[in-house]
Amino acid sequence: MRGQLIVATPDLLDPNFSRTVVLILEHSPEGAVGVVLNRPSETPLEDGMPGWALLAAAPGRVFVGGPVEPAAAIGLGRVPSSRAGSSEGRPEPLFGEVCSIDLGSDPVLRVPDVEVVRFFAGYAGWGPGQLDDEVAGEGWFVVDRDDGDVFSGAPEMLWREVLRRQPGPLRLLSTYPDDPSQN
């Protein structure tokens, strides 16, 4: 699942994950780690990560990456594959054009290497086998990511957009109402 998205099913009611789209950063027998892509906080990136606002993807906010270690920060950036890793010090892609951002690096020095960034406070984490069990229990849909999902300028629409581009029944779920009783 590394590099894929997990999309919460409409039945997943856990408030931490209801209607979320999570990018899986690591998945192994020891567990899984990801970040929620569609939960911007009220904190402007300039307040949370001074100096990086110049490269911030709209809406220019720190995102709530998940309920685990909310004081921890994870940074992701987009590096065109033509520039990624081609010389010492340039970021290596995690997958596609998505790379991790060294939080200790100088944003001014990163401008030629990184087109856009997004920072997450906290992350989503699962113990050994836990995410696999949740997927098997139909709590999540596993779908391919588009690198643009990570930096979406309309994160509030990402759950619907990701489902809408899927084939078959998943596409239909993109119209699932927030409150089915209002349907």
pLDDT tens string 39-68: 999 999 888 787 888 889 999 999 999 999
Say what the pLDDT of residue 111 is. Answer: 59
182, amino acid identity: Q
Say how many residues make up the chain. 183
Say what the pLDDT of residue 83 is. Answer: 53
- Whether 34 and 23 have beta carbons less than 8 Å apart is answered as yes
> For residues 107 and 146, what is the distance between their CA atoms, to the nearest angstrom?
25
Say what the pLDDT of residue 69 is. Answer: 97
Say what the pLDDT of residue 79 is. Answer: 86
> For residues 121 and 146, what is the distance between their CA atoms, to the nearest angstrom?
22
User: Which residues in the chain come in under a pLDDT of 50?
Assistant: 84, 86
